[in-house]
Amino acid sequence: MASYIIKRILYLIPVLFGVTVLVFGIMHLAPGDPAQVILGPKATAESLAKLRAELGLDQPVYKQYIHWITNVLQGDWGRSIQLKREVLPLVLTRFGATVILTIFAALLAVCIGLPAGIVSATKQYSFFDRFAMIAALVGFCLPVFWLGIMLQYVFGLKFGWLPVSGMHSPGQTGFLDMLPYLILPAVALAAEPAAVIARMTRSSILEVIRQDYIRTARAKGLSPRNTIVYHALKNALIPVVTVVGMQIGYLLAGAVLVEMVFSWPGIGTLMVNGIIARDFPLVQGIILIVATSYVLVNLLVDLLYIFLDPRITYK
């Protein structure tokens, strides 16, 4: 397995290189001038030219890329044009808030979707099965920003049970203080992944329980519950784990909208503001961090397959 892990880590290099080229090209080909954004519409041509030279924007795009990627490999991700701060520590600080929201939403999605899918499969065509699949369809179709606004209105404004924006109370930093602020954005973010996990779990369990070894276990007198828990579930989890890993990428991307709606201080709001301000170093640093995280999650999912099914080997 060690050789496989090393190979997968080496495969990250061309993937991340492609990500950097794509992001850098899109950001620099998009219309707009960062110097104009910084200095404003009344800036003179001389001041604009001077600022472009200071930022290196007067160089050809390929030279700008080579300069940027060389500095990135040395740990220097540049300075934010808008915020005048080093990109790497700024992004890592805000990324921590996004990771907290993503992990909480992922756990919530698994805790809802997995049991719902298992019960739906074991009680196929029952009232619960139909209700759960309809609810999953609704959860999958609801736009995350609309759901977030509705949660704010119902649980925040109408009933006043939970705060509707921010991450902490003024002057507080602890997890217990953050928890009420975390609930609504996590629920809004977890709705679609929970629906996908529920439907995938149901389909996978239904496929597994029709296998011969499940019928043999039942013929030996094993209870339906133990048959599902000890025999069917473990083999049915492989496609479910794959879907969960893919949903992590969705959660990181969907966090942008949720963070905007709930004023959550993560990389979502930071990236939107960076795009509006044409802050090249900041946006490139954020996307590089997100892409690296997504690839590492996929690597972790591949390694989990071995523990779920010992028949799988990596050569």
Give tens-digit pLDDT for 99-140: 888 889 989 999 999 899 888 888 888 888 899 888 888 888
CB neighbour list of residue 210: distance below 8 Å, 6 or more residues apart:
none
User: In the CATH scheme, what is the code of domain 90-277+287-308?
Assistant: 1.10.3720.10
The domain spans of the chain are 2-73, 90-277+287-308
Distance separating alpha carbons of residues 31 and 33, to the nearest angstrom: 7
The structure tokens listed for 127 are 């009232």
List pLDDT tens digits, range 178-232.
888 889 999 998 888 899 899 888 888 888 887 777 778 778 777 777 777 777 7
**Predicted pLDDT of residue 1:** 65
Residue 86 pairs with which residues in a beta bridge? 79
Give the dihedral of Cα atoms 41, 45, 50, 53; nearest 10 deg. Answer: 90
List pLDDT tens digits, range 228-268.
777 777 777 888 888 888 778 778 766 778 888 888 888 88
The structure tokens listed for 270 are 């930071």
